[in-house]
Amino acid sequence: MLRKIAWLVLALLVLAPAASAQQVLNIYNWSDYIDPSVIADFEKEYGIRVIYNVFSNNEELHARLRAGATGYDVIFPSDYMVEVLIEEELLQPIPHEAIPNLAHIDERFLDLPFDPGNRYSVPYLWGSTGIGVNTRYVKEPVTSWAILWDPKYRGRISMLNDPREVFGVALKRLGKSINTKDLADFEAAKELLVQQKPLVLTYDSDNVEHLLASGEVWLAHGYSGDVLMAADEDPAIVYVVPEEGGVLWMDTMAIPKGARNVEGALKFINFMLRPDISARNSEAVRYPSPNKAARDYTSPEILNNPMIYPPQEVMDNMEWLEDLGELAPAVDRLWTEVKAD
Ligand code: N2P
């Protein structure tokens, strides 16, 4: 009897960690970027418990992975960061046969230069970056990024905690591309950002919705969906893409090297690509879905909302972020200086 119990205990000790590892999926995503009910449905359907953590920008995600964080199973890097992570061999290939729902993605969003053949990443959601304006306090029409430098809004302005986005605004003001490979352009942009800093209440990517909806901030540099979520709470809030053009980005799902639950990660990715799930998720967070089949499940108000799905002429005036290559460390340094100055 005792021996039997000893065997049982031993078996439990050996098997339990494997069994529990199988039941847990570690997700690392941007904040406010998933419908919680979708996670709950996934957990129920697959019997897998999701542990959810958030990051504020691609550079934070990158730093974590580079420092050897192996705890994550699914991560959500943006376009240009996918390229960086592939190059640094921090991602693992995604077997397409395990994610049949990839077939639902609109071809426009597949096989892009940052990951040819989608070997390492699949589209999640996309969107733009512009300005959230509280028209209760800002009475003038907002047409240019220059308003974020207007001293009369001192302390009522927030900027994203996202170096590529913040430099993107300053570069647009200088009439440059957000993907310029000229360090002098970034240095000039840094000067503009240093000038702006006394007006900025906070550099924050995680609370734009709250900052705007609470009235604390009147002009928020923000990702489209976060501003639109604030607009749902207060109809005086609008989303504007300035005339100089905004930034476009696409976020993806990827599996980092060292993931412990690859099988669960693939199940999760395939689940998120399911048309009904993608539609529900996109509606909840107010970001456009790259999933063609999801359109059938999406309400016309969302599909026809030009702030969510920008019209072609607005899209044509925006730029997608690209990897800065060798310039990236210098830009990181300039960003640190802006924040520290
Ligand atoms: C939502 C974050 C949007 C991701 N809070 C921007 N790439």
* Closest among 291, 256, 332 to 66, alpha carbons compared: 256
pLDDT at 131 (0 to 100): 98
Structural contact between residues 315 and 171, judged by C-beta atoms closer than 8 angstroms = no
pLDDT at 70 (0 to 100): 75
Question: Hey, what are 176's tokens?
Answer: 């440059």
Distance 249 CA to ligand 1 centre (A): 9
**Which atom of ligand 1 is closest in space to residue 209's alpha carbon?**
5
pLDDT at 1 (0 to 100): 54
- Interval 78-101 mean pLDDT: 97
Whether the per-residue pLDDT at 337 is higher than 50: the answer is yes
Does ligand 1 have an atom closer than 6 angstroms to the CB of 31?
yes
Q: What is the largest CA-CA distance in the chain?
A: 83
pLDDT at 341 (0 to 100): 74
Tens of pLDDT along 98-117? 999 999 999 999 999 999 99
pLDDT at 246 (0 to 100): 87
**Which atom of ligand 1 is closest in space to residue 31's alpha carbon?**
5
pLDDT at 7 (0 to 100): 56
Distance 9 CA to ligand 1 centre (A): 46
Question: Hey, what are 205's tokens?
Answer: 């990517």
Helices 79-87/58-66 angle, 10° precision: 20
Whether the per-residue pLDDT at 21 is higher than 50: the answer is no
pLDDT at 217 (0 to 100): 98
- Interval 15-39 mean pLDDT: 81
Distance 33 CA to ligand 1 centre (A): 6
Q: How far is CA 115 from CA 44, 112, 167, 225, 260, in A?
A: 32, 6, 24, 25, 23
pLDDT at 23 (0 to 100): 86
- Interval 252-273 mean pLDDT: 97
Better-predicted residue by pLDDT, 308 or 9? 308
Q: For the whole model, what pTM was predicted?
A: 0.91
Query: H/E element holding 220?
Result: strand 219-223
Whether the per-residue pLDDT at 15 is higher than 80: the answer is no
**Which atom of ligand 1 is closest in space to residue 285's alpha carbon?**
1
pLDDT cut 70: percent of the chain above it: 94
- Nearest-angstrom CA–CA distance, 98 and 169: 40
Question: Hey, what are 292's tokens?
Answer: 């063609």
| DSSP β-bridge partners for residue 254 | 75, 121
Better-predicted residue by pLDDT, 12 or 112? 112
Tens of pLDDT along 64-85? 999 987 799 999 999 999 999 9
Query: Which residue has tokens 């207007």?
Result: 150
> If 0-12 CB within 10 Å is exposed, 13-18 middle and 19+ buried, where does residue 154 land?
exposed
pLDDT at 4 (0 to 100): 58
Average pLDDT, the chain: 93
SS3 at position 98: helix
Does ligand 1 have an atom closer than 6 angstroms to the CB of 186?
no
Distance 167 CA to ligand 1 centre (A): 17
Does ligand 1 have an atom closer than 6 angstroms to the CB of 78?
yes
Residue of 28, 30, 126, 286 with the most ligand 1 atoms within 8 Å of its CB, for mutation = 30
Query: H/E element holding 240?
Result: strand 237-240
State the pairing for strand pair 49-55/24-30.
parallel
* Closest among 265, 271, 254 to 75, alpha carbons compared: 254
Distance 13 CA to ligand 1 centre (A): 41
Tens of pLDDT along 290-335? 999 999 999 999 999 999 999 998 899 999 999 999 999 999 999 9
Whether the per-residue pLDDT at 11 is higher than 60: the answer is no
Q: How far is CA 119 from CA 29, 88, 268, 272, in A?
A: 20, 15, 17, 17
| DSSP β-bridge partners for residue 320 | 248
Distance 125 CA to ligand 1 centre (A): 9
Residue nearest to atom 6 of ligand 1 (CA): 223
Does ligand 1 have an atom closer than 6 angstroms to the CB of 249?
yes
Does ligand 1 have an atom closer than 6 angstroms to the CB of 30?
yes
pLDDT at 6 (0 to 100): 58
Ramachandran angles phi, psi of 2, nearest 5° = -60, -40
- Nearest-angstrom CA–CA distance, 258 and 62: 15
Residue of 52, 55, 251 with the most ligand 1 atoms within 8 Å of its CB, for mutation = 251
Residue of 31, 35, 165, 205 with the most ligand 1 atoms within 8 Å of its CB, for mutation = 205
Report residue 9's pLDDT band, with 50, 70 and 90 as the boundaries: low
- Interval 13-32 mean pLDDT: 73
Structural contact between residues 190 and 337, judged by C-beta atoms closer than 8 angstroms = yes
Distance 311 CA to ligand 1 centre (A): 20
Distance 223 CA to ligand 1 centre (A): 6
Tens of pLDDT along 207-232? 999 999 999 999 999 999 999 999 99
Does ligand 1 have an atom closer than 6 angstroms to the CB of 76?
no
